[in-house]
Amino acid sequence: KYPDVALVLDTVSSFSGVKIDMDALGIDVMLTGAQKALALPPGFSLFSVSEKAFDRAEKIPNRGFYFDFIEFKKQQAEWMTPSTPSIAHMHALQSKLEEIFEEGLDARFARHARTNALVHKWVHQAGFEFFAEEGFRSKTLTCVKNNKGIDVPELARKLREKHHLVIDPGYGKIRGKTFRLSNMGDETEATVAHLLSCLDDVL
């Protein structure tokens, strides 16, 4: 419908947790990070670029440095990178990809769906609400609306000190008004159930 518009998608918290068919969805640039659903240490990013995006980039004389996809493509053809890479991250990614394909992509996506459903069930049972409307909720992370007016930083503190678990108490304008519960990466039904049980204990 809009052939001149490039679709750039942020998949930082969803990549490897849900199926993303880049070609079928017409995605031109897909960006993600290592520290979310890939469950790796932070410190590097990954991206995938369509031929349409490459063609468009070639027509831009000043592409900058970090997002110069033409330079990345040129370096990749020679098994190189534009700058000094983090070799440790590359080995960690290789190991993680082996784990992912050993589990199987469909099984991994299904696991994220099941653990997400556990969190959603807990939200209802605990009397909380969702910050995001139906149809806009992540399958790897749940933003819980603090409709009960609890002390969210205190909840996070108790959870950390008593059970050695960390949750995000919100940030910016919604700090204290929300808290986020992750089921991404290597989390299983057992680990998510444990987190929810510990939340019940400190509420």
Q: Answer yes or no: pTM beyond 0.85.
A: yes
Contact between 162 and 202 under an 8 Å Cβ cutoff? The reply is: yes
How many residues can be counted in the chain?
A: 203
Q: Side chain identity at 98, as an amino acid letter?
A: E
Instruction: Tell me the per-residue pLDDT of 167-194, one tens digit each, with 9 for 90 and over.
Output: 999 889 999 999 999 999 999 999 999 9
Same fold flag, 8-103 and 105-202: no
Which class is domain 8-103? Answer: alpha beta
CATH classification (class only), 105-202: alpha beta
Q: Where residue 87 falls among pLDDT bands split at 50, 70, 90?
A: very high
Q: What are the extents of the domains in the chain? A: 8-103, 105-202
